[in-house]
Amino acid sequence: MNSTDSKNSISEVKKSVDESLAKMDKLIDDLKNERERIKNDLESKIENLTFGKFNKEEIDSFLEEPYVIIPKRENEFYVIAPRWVDFQIGWLDRTTKSYNIFVVNRYMQWIAPVPERLREKLKFPTPLPLKVVDGILLTGKEHQEEAMQRYRGFVVGRIGQDRIRIKRGGEFKLIAQMIEDGILPFIPKPVQQEDLVEPIESMVIGANIVLRKYQEDAWREFLDKGACGIYWAFGSGKSFFGVYALACLKGPKLVIVPTLTLKEQWEERIKKYLSGKMDEIEVVTYHAYEKYRNREFTLIIYDECQHLPANTFIRLATLRTKYRLGFSGSPFREDKRENYIFALTGFPLGMAWDELLKLKVVKMPVFKLHLLQDNRQKLSKLNELLKLPLKTLIFCDSIEFGQRISSMFSIPFVYGETRGRMDILRESDTTVISRVGDEGISLPELERVIEVSFLFGSRMQESQRFGRLMHSQKEEPEHIILMTEEEFERYGKRLNSIYERGGRIEVLR
């Protein structure tokens, strides 16, 4: 290249750079102008709100208290906050275009701390110091008359001046009502030394079971109380804690689970960590009451104990056991019988999700909602998503639709009649699964959950399904929901279980 050509080439490069810089300067000016326009437009809209002029001096007051409290019923309140404020408390009841509406009652504060300032405003009455033990309500002299009047539908008569006899068979109902009133009526029954394996330390280290700090704290609480409900986030080690308890206690033990899938998983863990104790431990589903009604156990574990208050399962709480544990990452029910979850398991032990997220014990998935017209479009979107090869669970309540997806994409379908479920789930990169996979499944390699069919507006199901990803060891697991516009309109409340945990959903149309 001669000097003239070289100069021309340099000149062209300089010209190109200058043009690029000019375009960049223009883009910066355009962005500044757009920012100013948006600012002015926003201020104008705020100033012209129908409810009055925008008072800038009130902003500080709003930031101090960005919510309003409205009574819902006795000892229960709505707490309403703008959607753009990072604020979660209690259960998210519903949302509008502008506001989140939470429900808070007294027993919620036992599993997730309520800020002191808000607790003062809720002004829950001081609970009576009442306790229940062996069919007797312990009142003390000063509270016997008040307790007799308040709970007369559950009791039959006074015993002396400080106790009341409970109606036969009414103990759990009374405890549930007392919990609704903000009273924890349990009396600790510490685990007896004679029921513990000795020495625990060498046995546990040999089984390679090591608890995290918050699990150690919970274990000490259980040793002191003898009956506890554990309400930690999905993936935070509730079942691992349960295996530890099974390892540490002597005698016959029973684990009760809602599905055969969970039964498989518990049996695998017990075989892995406690192979020498297999003859002491039985794992059954919630339908097994009749078989065990006359048996006695050292320990019963109720996994996914939000099922326990159901009319068909509540009898399981009456099985004879010295100690009990209940586990749930979603202790709420569509029939509003949350108080029974606590009444049937014991002292509640919770931990705020944000604390577990900070400790990196669990991770929040990335949420995306695709709004489509019909099932045909769902299949088309599913075909598009599956082109990216990730370890995936496709949740589908409809057996017919699940079989169609299985056939269309040549992937296995796990549902009620399927055997060897966990092997299929581990070995397949992509699996369609019915609601038998909603709860408890732990797949560390799972990268993505896709929902195509679901149980109407069930928040519990939604939280359980995204909970499968909180077990994942992957960095950014995805939870993708495929809904029609009609489904979104009718069943969109199920998504509140995501919002109330601080999740954010990207909506795509």
Composition of the chain by helix, strand, coil, percent to 5: 45, 20, 35
**By the 8 A CB rule, do 81 and 67 touch?**
yes
Give me the residue label for tokens 């016997």. 144
Tokens of residue 111, six digits: 């599993």
Q: Which residues pair with 491 in a beta bridge?
A: none
**By the 8 A CB rule, do 369 and 495 touch?**
yes
Residue-level pLDDT at 38: 64
Residue-level pLDDT at 66: 86
Give the DSSP per-residue string, 129-192.
--EEETTEEE--GGGHHHHHHHTTTTEEEEETTTEEEEPTT-HHHHHHHHHHTT-------PPP
Tokens of residue 351, six digits: 């931990």
Residue-level pLDDT at 13: 59
Cα-based torsion angle of the residue sequence 344, 345, 351, 354 in order, rounded to the nearest 10 degrees: -50
**CA-CA distance, 438 to 306, in Å (whole number)?**
13
**CA-CA distance, 19 to 74, in Å (whole number)?**
70
Residue-level pLDDT at 4: 59
Q: Which residues of the chain are under the pLDDT cut of 50?
A: 202-206
Residue-level pLDDT at 374: 95
**By the 8 A CB rule, do 215 and 209 touch?**
no
The 3-state secondary structure of 297-338 reads EEEEEECCHHHCCCCCCHHHHHCEEEEEEEECCCCCCCCCCH
SS3 category, 416: coil
Tokens of residue 348, six digits: 């509640």
Q: How many residues does the chain have?
A: 509
Neighbours of 384 (CB within 10 A): 10
**CA-CA distance, 186 to 367, in Å (whole number)?**
40
pTM of the model: 0.76
SS3 category, 351: coil
**By the 8 A CB rule, do 305 and 341 touch?**
yes
Closest CA to 434 of 469, 406, 463: 406
Neighbours of 169 (CB within 10 A): 9
Cα-based torsion angle of the residue sequence 451, 456, 460, 462 in order, rounded to the nearest 10 degrees: 20
Residue-level pLDDT at 400: 95
